[in-house]
């Protein structure tokens, strides 16, 4: 009698193990696990000062590297991270990695600036600022070397956003509005925020020389940025024509595949060194 009972029990156990291993984790659990296992890596997209052709720094862009080696783009997991609140942990991780990479670059006697993307949840919580202050103090990095980017869409709660932005500015960081022109923030709101720069969204740069109707809007978006008396950064510059256009329009900085794609830290460091050889930055001599 004992034998069949034992067989049945082990069969049930086997089925149970099979069932558990077949269960796919929910996307949120997968993300949580990835955070615990530190599967996120920061890449750096060079930021170019147009007047001098100098690379003044980079934007930190996070990527998820799955255990099977696949890279997952941020657009595929940042929305879920924002919904679930896990973005706070990802932001902390990005900050830690950026500061560590900056520290390594400084050891190589480089003066690099890095922009970090901050989400609406981060602005609400303000926790990232504590992490940032702690990390840069430990590494001996000047606050001015870390810029922060917030999208227009993340200003849904203007009062909280204003308070956090003011705190970041007081701590010595530079603040930029990301994807400018695509959100629904009013110019009057932007005018009241303590900002340093506007990043003109890629869609307006795409329109240059392509879509006649859309490119009618581009000079006005640039004009609005100028009216706010802020530094302008063109994002997603891919062609020589777009580069020439934004230069002529008085945009100070640019980012895009025309100059360089986002690179792993060591490749960015090499790029920075080679690209800047024999050049002098206007911005850096003012900022220094």
Confirm or reject binding of residue 70 to ligand C2E (CB under 6 A).
no
Q: Which of these segments, 16-24, 67-75, 190-198, 265-273, binds ligand C2E (CB under 6 A)?
A: 67-75
Confirm or reject binding of residue 73 to ligand C2E (CB under 6 A).
yes
Helix (H, G, I), strand (E, B) or coil at 57: strand
Residues of span 94-133 touching ligand C2E by CB under 6 A: 94, 117, 119
The continuous run of DSSP H or E covering 42 comes out as strand 40-49
Compute φ and ψ for 28, nearest 5 degrees.
-70, -40
104 contact partners, CB below 8 Å, separation of at least 6: 265, 269
Confirm or reject binding of residue 46 to ligand C2E (CB under 6 A).
no
* CB closer to ligand C2E, 75 vs 274: 75
Cα separation, 241 vs 256, in Å, equals 13
Q: Rule CB under 6 A: choose which of 255, 263, 265, 281 binds ligand C2E.
A: 255
Confirm or reject binding of residue 149 to Mg ion (CB under 5 A).
yes
Q: Which of these segments, 8-16, 99-107, 194-202, 256-264, binds Mg ion (CB under 5 A)?
A: 194-202
Helix (H, G, I), strand (E, B) or coil at 3: helix
* CB closer to ligand C2E, 14 vs 98: 98
Cβ neighbour number for residue 227 with a 10 Å cutoff: 10
CB 254 within 8 Å of CB 283: no
Confirm or reject binding of residue 238 to ligand C2E (CB under 6 A).
yes
- In which region does residue 69 sit, left (phi positive, over 0), alpha (psi from -120 to 50) or beta (all else)? left
What is the per-residue binding string for Mg ion in 112-131, x denoting contact by CB under 5 A? Answer: -----x--------------
Instruction: State the binding partner of 96 from ligand C2E, Mg ion, none, CB within 5 to 8 A by kind.
Output: none
* CB closer to Mg ion, 152 vs 179: 179
Least Å from the CB of residue 115 to Mg ion: 7
Q: List 118's β-bridge partners, or say none.
A: 150
Q: Which of these segments, 138-146, 219-227, 254-262, 272-280, binds ligand C2E (CB under 6 A)?
A: 254-262
120 contact partners, CB below 8 Å, separation of at least 6: 82, 150, 151, 153, 154, 155, 156, 157, 161
Least Å from the CB of residue 10 to Mg ion: 55
Instruction: State the binding partner of 106 from ligand C2E, Mg ion, none, CB within 5 to 8 A by kind.
Output: none
Confirm or reject binding of residue 78 to ligand C2E (CB under 6 A).
yes
Angle at which helix 87-107 crosses helix 127-139, to 10 degrees, equals 20
Q: What is the largest CA-CA distance in the chain?
A: 90
CB 51 within 8 Å of CB 67: no
User: Which positions touch Mg ion (CB under 5 A)?
Assistant: 117, 149, 178-179, 199, 235
User: Which positions touch ligand C2E (CB under 6 A)?
Assistant: 45, 61-62, 73-75, 78, 87, 94, 117, 119, 178-179, 235-238, 255-257, 262
């Amino acid at each position: 009698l004992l034998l069949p009972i034992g067989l049945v029990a082990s069969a049930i156990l086997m089925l149970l193990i099979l069932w558990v291993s077949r269960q796919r984790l929910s996307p949120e659990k997968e993300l949580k696990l990835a955070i615990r296992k530190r599967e996120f890596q920061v890449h750096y997209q060079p930021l170019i000062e147009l007047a001098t052709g100098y690379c003044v720094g980079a934007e930190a862009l996070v990527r998820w590297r799955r255990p099977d080696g696949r890279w997952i783009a941020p657009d595929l997991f940042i929305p879920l991270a924002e919904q679930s609140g896990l973005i706070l942990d990802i932001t902390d991780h990005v900050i830690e990695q950026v500061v560590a990479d900056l520290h390594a670059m400084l050891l190589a006697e480089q003066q690099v600036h890095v922009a970090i993307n901050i989400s609406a949840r981060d602005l609400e919580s303000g926790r990232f600022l504590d992490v940032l202050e702690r990390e840069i103090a430990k590494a001996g990095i000047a606050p001015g070397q870390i810029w922060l980017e917030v999208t227009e869409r993340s200003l849904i709660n203007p009062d909280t956003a204003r308070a956090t932005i003011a705190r970041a500015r007081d701590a010595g960081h530079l603040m930029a509005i990301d994807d400018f022109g695509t959100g629904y923030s009013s110019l009057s709101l932007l005018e009241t925020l303590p900002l340093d720069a506007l990043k003109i969204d890629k869609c307006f740069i795409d329109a240059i020389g392509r879509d006649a109707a859309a490119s009618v809007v581009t000079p006005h978006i640039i004009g609005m940025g100028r009216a706010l008396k802020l530094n302008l950064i063109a994002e997603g510059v891919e062609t020589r024509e777009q580069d020439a256009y934004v230069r002529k329009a008085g945009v100070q900085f640019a980012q895009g595949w025309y100059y360089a794609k986002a690179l792993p830290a060591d490749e960015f460091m090499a790029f920075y060194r080679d690209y800047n050889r024999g050049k002098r930055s206007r911005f850096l001599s003012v900022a220094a």
